[in-house]
Chains A and B, each alone.
Chain A
C-alpha cells in the first residue's frame, strides 16, 4: 500500500503544482525567491509513506490517489451562510473561502489598533517586519506539504501586534471549504511584538461533505514578553483531508498558550513545533474526538533551546467506531537548557473494540539540571468511576456519556472564550452521546 503512494507521488505533486493559478510576481524580491525555493523543494521531495518514521502510523496513500485542484471560481457566500460559525466575542474576523480571502465577509479588520490583514494587503506596510518569519519558522526544506503551501503563498492572514499592545478582542480566522475536489493553502502569520498580547482562533469549517484537501501553514513569532493565546479548531467535513504545519517561536519570557481540537476530516495531521528561548513558557493542549473511520494524527515537538523555560502539554484522544488516533509528542531539552520544567501527558480513551491509538512520547534530554515528566495512558472508562455515577442513579449509558464528555471537556475548558467553549462542549456532548 505504501509503494503505490510512492509510485504515484511524483505525478501527484506535479499535478498539484501544475494546477497552480498564475501567481503575479510580488514587488518584494525575497517573496518571489521564497516561492521559487518552495517550488524547487516540491520538485525534490516526495509524498511521505508509512516507511517514513514520522508517518509510520498515518497512511495518506488515499490522498495521493485523488485529484485536487486549486479553486477556479469562488462561490459567493452570504453572511447567512456562515453566521453559525461566528464566535460572539471575536468581532474581528478574517474569512477565507476555499483559501481565498473574502473581504466582504470579514469584519472589524482595522478596528482594534492591530494589523489584522490579508497578507497581500499587508505586504507593503509590514514586509520588513515579517520577512524574518514568513516561510522561515516552518522549515519547508524537508516538508513537502509546507513547501506546497509556500509555493502557493498568496492570500494569508497576517496579524501584527505592536509593542506593548494588548488586544482585548479575540481575532477569528475562519477558513471555509465550499467546493469538492479543491485544494486550499491557508496561511497564517502572527507576530506579537515585545510585551504585546493577543488571542487568535484559527478555525477550519466546511459547508459541504465531499472530499477536499486543506494544506495549512501557520507561523507564530512571539518577541520578548509577548503573550499569545492560540485556539485551533479543526472541524472539517467528513471526507476532508487536512494537513497542517504550525511553527511557534518564543523569545525570552514570552508565553504561548494553545488549545487545539480536532473533530473533523477523514484524515488529519497536525504538526506543531514550538521553540522556547530563556524563561519562555508554553501550554500546549489538544483534543482529538473522532469516530467512524477517521484518522487524527498530532505530532508535536517542544524544543527547550535555552534555560529556565517551562512547557506543559496535555493531549487527549477520544476514539470511537473504528477510528484511529496518533500522538507523537517529542520534547527536546538542549544542552545548556538548564532548569527546564517540562510536563507532558497523553491520555487516550477507546470507546469501542475497533478503535485504535498509537502514542509515542519522546523525551530527548541533553541537559542535567531539568525537571521532565511524561506519561501516556490508553484505556476504556474506569469501572470505579462508572460505578460511582450509577450509584447516584444514573444509567450505565448516562454514566459513560458523562465520563466521556468530561474527559474531553477538561481540554475544552481551557479555551478562554466562553461562547466558543460552549459551542465546542456541545459538540463533544453530541458526539459522545451518539457514539455510545
Chain B
C-alpha cells in the first residue's frame, strides 16, 4: 500500500551487472518505499531473476556500475548473510533441498542467527516450536513439515510455503519473491498469496518478480514495472499487469524504443 510520508527503503540507481562477462543489467533504476508492493514483470531473459539475486548478494554476478542502497546503507558492500541480517529476504524460485538436516533445526538456526545479529533474544527449542507453529498457521502448513528434512521430497507448493514461512520468521524489511507463483496450483497460490498479504505492513516492502499476471490477482501491487534487456522500461499501476496479460510484452518494447528514439 502507498502511505503518505513513507520512507525510502530501497534505492537502485543505474545498476549494471555481468555474469560470465555478459552484461545482464544495463542501468536499472528502482525506488521502493516502505509499505509498498512492487511487481517486476518481463519476458524470460530480461534480467528479473538476476536482479533479485544481486539484491541478495549472489557472487556469480559482478556488479559493474550503479548503486543499491537499503535504508541509506550501501547494500553492495555487504555479504549475503549481512544483507539478510539487515533485512533483505529472497524467496527462491528453486529452494534447495538439504537432506539430512531437519527443517525445524534449520529454521531455528537461521532465526536465532538473524535475531542475535539484530540484538534480540534467541529462542530455545521449545519456545521456537511455539513460535514457528504459530507462523505455520499463516500458511496452513502441517506441523509434520518441521520434522522432515529441509525441502526434501516437498512438492513445489510445499517448498514455496516453506520459503514464505522463513519470510514470516525473519521479518524482513525488503522481501523479494522470485517467481513464487511458478509451479503452484490455484489453491497453493491462494494460500501463499494470503500469507504474503498478511505479512505486508507499512514498515516493510515486497518486490514480486513474476512472469505472469496470475499472482497479482492475489497480491495486488502498487506498482508494476516492465523489464526488458536489463532495464525497467515502463512503470504503471496494477492495471498495467492486466494490459500485459492481454497484449503481451512486445508493445512495451516498441513504445519504449519509439519514445527513446524520439528523445534522441
Question: Which residues of A are in contact with B by a Cβ distance under 8 Å?
Answer: 382-385, 387-396, 398-399, 402-403, 405-410, 412-413
A398–B98 CB distance below 8 A: no
B37 to nearest A CB, angstroms? 21
Using Cβ atoms and an 8 Å threshold, which residues of chain A touch B81?
Answer: 390-396, 399
Q: Mind listing 14 A-B residue pairs with CB under 8 Å?
A: A384-B96, A387-B56, A389-B110, A391-B81, A391-B89, A391-B92, A392-B84, A392-B166, A393-B85, A393-B113, A393-B170, A394-B81, A402-B109, A410-B99
Using Cβ atoms and an 8 Å threshold, which residues of chain B touch A412?
Answer: 100
Q: Which of B59, B90, B101 contacts A383 (CB 8 A)?
A: B59
Using Cβ atoms and an 8 Å threshold, which residues of chain B touch A410?
Answer: 99-100, 149
Q: Which of B83, B101, B117 contacts A409 (CB 8 A)?
A: B101
**CA separation between A381 and B92, bound complex, in Å?**
19
A382 to nearest B CB, angstroms? 8
A405–B113 CB distance below 8 A: no
Using Cβ atoms and an 8 Å threshold, which residues of chain B touch A385?
Answer: 96, 98
B79–A396 CB distance below 8 A: yes
Known pairs A393-B110, A393-B170; A402 contacts B101 (CB<8 A): yes
Q: Which residue of B lies closest to A384 (CB)?
A: B96
Q: B72-95 interface mask toward A, CB cutoff 8 Å, 1 = contact, 0 = none? A: 000000011101110001101001
**CA separation between A398 and B98, bound complex, in Å?**
14
Q: Which of B58, B60, B149, B170 contacts A392 (CB 8 A)?
A: B170
- Determine whether B215 belongs to the interface, using a CB cutoff of 8 Å to chain A: no
B100, B101, B109: residue with the most chain A Cβ atoms closer than 10 Å: B100
B98–A390 CB distance below 8 A: no
A387–B98 CB distance below 8 A: no
**CA separation between A403 and B109, bound complex, in Å?**
13
- Determine whether B114 belongs to the interface, using a CB cutoff of 8 Å to chain A: yes
Using Cβ atoms and an 8 Å threshold, which residues of chain B touch A407?
Answer: 100
Using Cβ atoms and an 8 Å threshold, which residues of chain A touch B221?
Answer: none
**CA separation between A333 and B236, bound complex, in Å?**
65
What is the interface size of chain B, counting residues whose CB is below 8 A from a CB of the partner? 29
Using Cβ atoms and an 8 Å threshold, which residues of chain A touch B195?
Answer: none
- Determine whether B57 belongs to the interface, using a CB cutoff of 8 Å to chain A: yes
Using Cβ atoms and an 8 Å threshold, which residues of chain B touch A398?
Answer: 109, 113
Q: Which residue of B lies closest to A412 (CB)?
A: B100
Using Cβ atoms and an 8 Å threshold, which residues of chain B touch A388?
Answer: 92, 95-96
Using Cβ atoms and an 8 Å threshold, which residues of chain B touch A409?
Answer: 100-101
Q: Which of A383, A393, A406, A413 contacts B98 (CB 8 A)?
A: A406
B101–A405 CB distance below 8 A: yes
**CA separation between A399 and B96, bound complex, in Å?**
13
**CA separation between A405 and B99, bound complex, in Å?**
10
**CA separation between A382 and B109, bound complex, in Å?**
20
Using Cβ atoms and an 8 Å threshold, which residues of chain A touch B84?
Answer: 390-393
B216 to nearest A CB, angstroms? 24
**CA separation between A412 and B99, bound complex, in Å?**
11
Q: Which of B56, B99, B100, B101 contacts A391 (CB 8 A)?
A: B56
Q: Which of B210-259 contact A (CB under 8 A)?
A: none
**CA separation between A308 and B99, bound complex, in Å?**
30
**CA separation between A395 and B81, bound complex, in Å?**
6
A391, A398, A402: residue with the most chain B Cβ atoms closer than 10 Å: A391
Using Cβ atoms and an 8 Å threshold, which residues of chain A touch B114?
Answer: 392-393
A408–B100 CB distance below 8 A: yes
**CA separation between A398 and B105, bound complex, in Å?**
13
Q: B33-75 interface mask toward A, CB cutoff 8 Å, 1 = contact, 0 = none? A: 0000000000000000000000011111000000000000000
Using Cβ atoms and an 8 Å threshold, which residues of chain B touch A396?
Answer: 79, 81
**CA separation between A409 and B101, bound complex, in Å?**
7
A411 to nearest B CB, angstroms? 8
